[in-house]
Amino acid sequence: EAQVTQNPRYLITVTGKKLTVTCSQNMNHEYMSWYRQDPGLGLRQIYYSMNVEVTDKGDVPEGYKVSRKEKRNFPLILESPSPNQTSLYFCASSPGLFYEQYFGPGTRLTVT
């Protein structure tokens, strides 16, 4: 089954404790991206990757890191989380922006 998986689905953590949210796709897609969704602001792009070892900033990259060492995986790293990073995070993949976007189930992160 074609899918994008994210782990964990829910996470409560404390300020400053490094965390990683994993994202994996089984469709051999080149384009992968991370988004955050906040009430009233909608979805905003954090980082995206056009292919292995190629990543670029979206609109809200501050406080986040990503890596793309393998085509299927695109982890999101928060080196020192802060309360303003409390949000719902989505990973997505596709062959490119001219194609259907496949979204993961979301990760709800709370930073206290």
Partner 1 sequence: KNEVEQSPQNLTAQEGEFITINCSYSVGISALHWLQQHPGGGIVSLFMLSSGKKKHGRLIATINIQEKHSSLHITASHPRDSAVYICAVGRTDKLIFGTGTRLQVFP
Shortest distance (Å) from residue 22 CB to partner 1: 18
Query: Which residues contribute to the site for partner 1 (CB under 8 A)?
Result: 31, 33, 35, 40-45, 48, 50, 56, 58-59, 88, 90, 92, 97-103, 105-106
Q: Which of 11, 18, 29, 12 is nearest to 68 (CA)?
A: 29
Shortest distance (Å) from residue 63 CB to partner 1: 18
Answer whether 34's CB lies under 8 Å from 46's CB: yes
- State the pairing for strand pair 102-103/10-13: unpaired
- State which residue, 19 or 50, has the beta carbon closest to partner 1: 50
- State which residue, 18 or 99, has the beta carbon closest to partner 1: 99
Place of tokens 């490119």: 96
